[in-house]
Amino acid sequence: MNTELTRMQQIGETLALHGREMVLALVILILGLLVARWIDRGLRSLLQRIMPKAGYTTATCNVLYILMVAGVVAIAAVEFGAKPVNILRLLTIIALIAVGLILFLRPLLPSMPFKVGNTVKAGTLLGKVEAITFINTRLRTFDGKTFFVPNSQILNDVVINYHFTQTRRVKIDVNIRYDQDLLKAKRVLEAVMTEDARVKTKPGPMVYVLNLAASAVELGGRCWVDNKNYWVARCDLLEKTKLRFDQEGIRFAFPQLDVHLNPGEAMEGQGTCSPVVSEKRAGGQAEPDETIA
Amino acid sequence: MKIAEGLKVIEKGWIRKPKGYRVRFHRQNETGFEQVYSPPMTDAMLNSDVTAWRYAWKLWQATCEETEEGSPGRLYNITVVDDEDRTIPYYGTGDVEIYNPKKIAGPLEGSV
């Protein structure tokens, strides 16, 4: 009983002696943290408006916020009666420990194979990385949906980062009929790719004969463009290829089935014609007719 | 001749690759005509001729209905040019195309 009384008396004396400083320090702490939060939000929105594509905006704001919080805590502690030198020492020690831990643990921590702003394909999701936290990654797909994907799921899946390399190869595959001028088609397709401003000269565009298929000669155009131009360049090249082939009179192939009527067999039958079906290769040797009885 | 040298010759002489495209037209104002480029010479060029032709066609469509013949703001001779200010053939037909053509006599007021 006596002990508790003594303790209460001690608290009372302490409050009487340092109560004002304690209240003041608490007020400084609360107000300082609120102001720091307000500045942090303002700074983030300002930086995102000024530099919307800069990936280091979040990191810069985080560092500034930590510094502001540390400053507020230090001021509150000094107001409470702590010596500024001691506070400075304490903050220095904390900072050094934090930096040491980050440097030591960084190789052990799994890192994401992309940065904010990259276009990635994680699993079945294709989109732009908007934010990365310790728990999940915010991904915005090109149709406007926002996905919060757990980091563990991303780390366990195949990830394609389209920003890892500067350039990307465009495939323009077209099929032409067997009776068309193959060399002309190759020349036209190469010209379409070469004269496009976005197509790289090194490595230059190439056209290959990919396959001699059942109904078509398959041509493959290959060229390289900058990653950022990939999609539009591909669509434009396809459009220009179609139109240029039309202008040059080169006809595209399509699966076709020719039906021949054999008049001789029609005479022998009971007044009906027997259809003769063959898959004809345009300009090439037709397969022997296969009669369907 | 080494292959690398041969490739350089081909690169220079076979097919010219434009560095970009602009839409060029004549705009009528109060006193006459001015030659205008879009995007302007100070801005980066369009990197797609498909986009440039589409843009040119839309400019023509947007101005042919709204403004009367001979009134300020009307656009004439809308076409797509490359980085050397040469008219490029329209990729759809292979011919040089000029939307809303008009012979303009007299000096132009300068390029914008």
Residue A210 above 80 pLDDT? yes
In terms of phi and psi (left: phi > 0; alpha: psi -120 to 50; beta: otherwise), the region of A291 is beta
Print burial letters for B14-30: b (CB count within 10 Å at least 16), e (below 16).
eeebbebbbbbbbbbee
Measured between CA atoms, the residue of chain B closest to residue A231 is B48
Distance from A208 to chain B by nearest Cα, in Å? 18
DSSP string, A157-209: S-EEETTSSSEEEEEEEEEE-TTS-HHHHHHHHHHHHHT-TTS-SSSPPEEEE
Multiple choice CATH, A119-161, 3.40.50.2000, 2.30.30.60, 3.20.20.105, 3.40.50.300: 2.30.30.60
Residue B111 above 80 pLDDT? no
Measured between CA atoms, the residue of chain B closest to residue A240 is B91
Tell which of A231, A240, A241 to mutate to test the B interface (max B CBs under 10 Å).
Answer: A240
Across the interface, do B51 and A197 touch by the CB < 8 Å criterion?
Answer: no
Alpha-carbon distance values, A130 to A110, A133, A145 (Å)? 19, 10, 12
Distance from B79 to chain A by nearest Cα, in Å? 18
- Within 8 A of A196 by CB-CB distance, chain B residues are 17, 49
Euclidean distance between the first and the last CA atom of chain A, given in angstroms as a whole number:
114
Across the interface, do A197 and B19 touch by the CB < 8 Å criterion?
Answer: yes
* pLDDT for A174: 95
Q: What is the token pair recorded at B12? A: 């220079």
pLDDT category of residue A138 using cuts at 50, 70 and 90: very high
CB A137 within 8 A of CB A151: yes
CB A260 within 8 A of CB A278: yes
pLDDT category of residue A236 using cuts at 50, 70 and 90: very high
**What is the CATH class of A2-105?**
mainly alpha
Which residue stretches of A195-250 are H helix? Answer: 230-248
- Within 8 A of A244 by CB-CB distance, chain B residues are 91, 94
- Residues of B engaging A, defined by a Cβ cutoff of 8 Å: 7, 11, 14-21, 47-51, 91-94
Across the interface, do A247 and B93 touch by the CB < 8 Å criterion?
Answer: yes
Element (H, E) at A291: strand A290-291
Q: By C-alpha distance, which of B57, B49, B69, B1 is closest to B25?
A: B57
Bond before B39 cis per omega within 30 degrees: yes
Distance from A245 to chain B by nearest Cα, in Å? 10
CB B100 within 8 A of CB B64: yes
Distance from A255 to chain B by nearest Cα, in Å? 26
**Which is it for the CA torsion A111, A114, A115, A116, positive or negative?**
negative
What is the average pLDDT across B10-15?
81
Measured between CA atoms, the residue of chain A closest to residue B51 is A236
Q: Which amino acid is at A228?
A: K
Q: In what order do the strands lie in the sheet with A159-161?
A: A146-150, A136-141, A125-132, A119-122, A159-161
pLDDT category of residue A108 using cuts at 50, 70 and 90: confident
Q: By C-alpha distance, which of A283, A279, A286, A287 is closest to A255?
A: A279
* pLDDT for A79: 81
Residue A180 φ then ψ, to 5°: -90, 160
In terms of phi and psi (left: phi > 0; alpha: psi -120 to 50; beta: otherwise), the region of A82 is beta
Mean pLDDT of chain A: 83
pLDDT category of residue A6 using cuts at 50, 70 and 90: confident
Element (H, E) at A45: helix A2-50
Go through chain A and tell me how many residues it has.
293
* pLDDT for A163: 85
* pLDDT for A283: 43
pLDDT tens digits, one per residue of A160-173: 998 888 899 999 99
pLDDT tens digits, one per residue of B52-97: 999 999 998 888 776 677 778 888 999 999 998 999 999 999 899 9
In terms of phi and psi (left: phi > 0; alpha: psi -120 to 50; beta: otherwise), the region of A253 is beta
The CA radius of gyration of chain B, in Å to the nearest whole number, is: 17
* Boundaries of every domain in chain A: 2-105, 119-161, 167-248, 258-291
How many Cβ pairs within 8 Å bridge chains A and B?
43
C-alpha–C-alpha distance, residues A264 and A253, integer Å? 32
Q: In what order do the strands lie in the sheet with B21-28?
A: B33-38, B21-28, B75-82
Number of helices (H), then strands (E), belonging to chain B: the values are 2, 3
CATH architecture of A167-248: 2-Layer Sandwich (3.30)
Which residue in the set B14, B47, B91 is minimally distant from A197, CB to CB?
B47
Q: By C-alpha distance, which of B17, B16, B90 is closest to B52?
A: B90
Which residue stretches of A81-174 are H helix? Answer: 84-105, 151-155
Q: Which amino acid is at A71?
A: G
Q: What is the token pair recorded at A259? A: 């039906």
Q: What is the token pair recorded at A197? A: 């401003």
Same CATH fold, A119-161 and A2-105? no
Distance from A239 to chain B by nearest Cα, in Å? 9
Distance from B23 to chain A by nearest Cα, in Å? 15
CB A149 within 8 A of CB A129: no
Residue B37 above 90 pLDDT? yes
- Within 8 A of A236 by CB-CB distance, chain B residues are 48-51
pLDDT top residue among A93 and A263: A93
Which residue in the set B15, B50, B51 is minimally distant from A191, CB to CB?
B15
Tell which of A188, A242, A247, A248 to mutate to test the B interface (max B CBs under 10 Å).
Answer: A247
Across the interface, do A195 and B93 touch by the CB < 8 Å criterion?
Answer: no
Which residue in the set A197, A233, A244 is minimally distant from B20, CB to CB?
A197
